[in-house]
Structure 1
C-alpha cells in the first residue's frame, strides 16, 4: 500500500490503522469487566484484583515513554512488527498465569507493548494535509476508542461464558492476524532522527518544557482520562451489588453505551467550521463534568449510569481528538515525540484515576468514586480556562 504523495495517505491505510488500533488497544481493557471473576478465581480481594487494571495503564505509560519515541529513530513498520511479537507473548502469559504476581507482571507487559496505535496516530497526522488532519486522526482514534469500549463488552461476555482466561487467549490469536495485516499492507516511513536513544529521550523532555500548547493539552487529557477510568474501573464492583446484582457481561455491555459517545466524538473535527478549537475543548470538559451528575444522582438506576457513560465518553474523546489536533499543528518533525509527551501524561492520568477510584471505593463506595471522577474533570476545566489563551500561539 503506497502513499499517494509526500503529504497524502490513502483511505485504505487509514481504515487499516483504525481497525488495528482498536484490536491492539483492546488488550489493555479486557481485564476491567473481568476483575471480579479474577478476584474469585484467585481468592483475592477486589482491591488486589483492581491493581491489574492500574498496572496495565502504568505499563502503557511506560511503553509510550520508552517505545513510541523510537518511531522517529527507526523504520516504523519494523518497530511495529517486532513489538507485536512482544504483545503476543504477554497475552499468552496472562492466559496461563495462575498466581497474582504473574498476572501483575503480564498486565504490565501487555500495557507496555500495546502502544502501536500511538505509532499510527502520528503517521496519520504526518501524512495528512492540515485540512484532513483532524478527520484522519478522528478516524484512527474512533477505531482506537471503539476498541477500548467494545473490549469491555466482549471481555465481559467471553468471561461469563468461557472464563476470563479464554479472553486473553483469543486476544493472543488476534495479534497473529494483526501482524500479517501490517506486514502486507502498512507502508514504510523513513526515520527522521539521527541521534542516539539518550538524545532522543532528552528531546522528548525538551518538547515538554518548551511547548505550552503541548503541556496544556497533556494536562487536560490526563485529567479527563483519569475521570473516565475512575468510572469504568469501579463500575463492575458497583453493579455486582444491589439493586443491580449484575454479572460481568452486563457491566461489559456498558461499553456499547460508551461506543455511542465515542462514535459521536469522532465527528468532532467538523465543528471547527463553526467554532474554534479551544471552545470545542471547553464544551467537551463541561460534558465530562455533566456526566458525573447523572452517575452520582441517578447512580442506582440503569438509565442514570447509561447516560453517564455515554456523556463521559463523548466528552473525554472529543477533548482527546481536539487536544491531539492542537499539538500536531506545532511545526515540528518530532511527531512521535510530541505524541509521547501527551500520551504518557494521558495514561499517568488514567492510572491515577484508577488508583484513586479504587481507594475511594474501599472507603466511601460509589459516592467516593463520583467525587474522584468529578474532581478530575474540574481540574481539567480550571486549567483550560486559566491557560488556553496564553498557550494558544503555536510555535
Structure 2
C-alpha cells in the first residue's frame, strides 16, 4: 500500500518545486552584471539560461523516471543537495566556462520540480491526486514567475554571487525537510531502471497525441523563452537601461498566469484540453502583439505580459493533463518524454534570443514568437481527440 504524504507534505513539495525551478530563471535579470563582472561578451553569458534548460532537459530524461524506482525522501533530498552544490559552484565561478558547467548541474538538479509533482500525485489520498498535482504545479508557476523578481532584487542588494548563495541555502533547507517528512517507501516497479529508459522513445511512436502535445507545447515554450530572454536583454540596454530589480518587476505582470491555473483545470474537465489550448494560445498571441508594439508604455507592456504568461501557463496545464490521461499507469514515463522535448525546444528559443535581437530588433523577435504561438493555436485546434 502506498503511504500518504504527511500533513503539509503537498505544500512542502510545492515549495520545493517552486524554489528549485526558480534557479533556471533567477539569474536572467543579472546577465549584464555577470558579463561585466567576468569581463566577457553578453552574447556568451546569454548561454547561461540555455545551459540551465539543457541541464533540466537532461534531468527530465534521466532522473524523472527514478520516481518509479527510489523512495521520495532519498531522491528529492539527493537532488536538492546537488542543486545547492551547483549553485555554490556558480557563485564562486572565476570564468564563464565554470559558470556554464555549474548551470548544467543546476538545471539537471532543478528537474526535481517535476519529480515533486509525480510524488504528490502518487502519495495523495484516494480521489485527490489531481488536486495534489495542481498544488505543486501552482508552486512551480509561482517559482517561475517570481524568480526574476527575486533574482533581480537580491542582485541589487547583495550582488549576483551572493544571490546564488541565498538560493543554495533554500535548496539545503528543502533537502533537510524532504529527508525528514517525505515518504521512505520505495515504489514497486515491474521493470529495471534501464528498461524504463529504453521504453521512453517508443512512446512517441505508440501515442500520436503525445507527438501533438510535444509539438504544441514546444512551440509555446519556444515563444515563452524567446520573449522573456529578449525582453530582459532589451530592458537592460539603452534606451531603457533598467536595473536588475526593475527588470524583475515586469514578472509581476505574469501573476495572472498563476491565478488562472485553478480555473484552467475546471475548464479542461468541462470543455476538453483542445479548446483550452486554442483559447490560451490566442490570448498569448494577443499579449505578444501588445509587447511587440507597446514596450515603451509600461501599462501596455504589463497587459501584454499578463496575457502572454496566462496563455502559456493555461495551455501547459491543459497539455500536461492530456499527456497524463493517455496512460495514467505510465504517466511518469509519458511526462518524461514530453518534458524532455518541451524543454529542448524551449532551450532553442533561449539560445536564439540574443542573435535574433541583434538581427531583427525587439519587434522582429517578438513577431517571431507570435508566429510560433499562432502555429501552436492551429495545432491545438486540429487536435486528434479531446481529453475530458
Tell me whether 323-332 or 190-199 shows the greater mean CA deviation. Answer: 190-199
- The one of 225, 243, 250 equivalent to 1:254 is 250
Q: Is the 8 A contact 1:73 1:194 kept in 2?
A: no
Indicate the residue corresponding to 1:18 in structure 2.
Answer: 14
Shift in Å, 1:393: 7.4
Matched, 1:343 2:370: no
3-state SS of paired residue (2:260): helix
Q: Secondary structure at the match of 2:134?
A: helix
User: CA–CA distance in 2 between the matches of 1:12 and 1:357?
Assistant: 40
Q: For residue 7 of structure 1, report the CA deviation from its aligned partner.
A: 9.6
Of 67, 73, 78, the residue aligned with 1:77 is 73
Aligned counterpart, 1:172: 168
The structure-2 alpha-carbon separation of the partners of 1:376 and 1:329, relative to structure 1 and needing over 3 Å to count, comes to same
What's the CA shift for 1:116? Answer: 0.9
- Inter-CA distance 132–289: structure 2 relative to 1 (3 Å threshold): farther
Alignment TM-score, normalising by the size of structure 2: 0.93
Change in Cα spacing, 1:243 to 1:304, as seen in structure 2 (3 Å) is farther
Counterpart position of 2:64: 68
Question: What corresponds to 1:214 in structure 2?
Answer: 210
The separation in 1 between residues aligned to 2:4 and 2:72, in whole angstroms, is 17
User: What is the CA distance between 1:8 and its match in structure 2?
Assistant: 6.7
* Structure-1-length-normalised TM-score: 0.92
| Structure 2 unaligned regions, length at least 5 | none
Q: Give yes or no for the alignment of 1:231 onto 2:227.
A: yes
- Residue 271 of structure 2 aligns to a residue in which SS? coil
Q: How many residues align?
A: 388
Match of 2:133 among 131, 134, 137: 137
Q: How big is each residue's C-alpha offset from its partner over 1:14-40, in whole Å with a ceiling of 9 and x where there is no partner?
A: 212111111111111111111111111
* 1:357–1:372 contact (8 Å) kept in structure 2: no
- Contact kept, 8 Å, 1:55 with 1:107, in 2: the verdict is yes
Contact 2:152 2:245 in 1 (8 A): yes
Stretch of structure 1 that moved more, 162-171 or 133-142: 133-142
Q: CA deviation at 1:323?
A: 1.1
Once the two structures are superposed, residues 192-217 of structure 1 have per-residue CA deviations (whole angstroms, 9 ceiling, x without a partner) of 43433331111111222212222222
Q: Which of 348, 356, 362 lines up with 1:360 in the alignment?
A: 356
Alpha carbons of structure 1 residues 128 and 222: separation in structure 2 relative to 1, 3 Å:
farther
Tell which deviates more after alignment, 267-276 or 32-41. Answer: 267-276
- Establish whether residue 269 from structure 1 lines up as the match of residue 260 from structure 2: no
Q: Distance in 2 between matches of 1:116 and 1:393?
A: 27
Distance 1:355 1:368, change over 3 A: farther
Cα distance in 1 between the residues matched to 2:238 and 2:98: 32
What corresponds to 1:190 in structure 2?
186
Partner of 2:343: helix, strand, or coil? helix
Is the aligned partner of 1:90 residue 2:86? yes
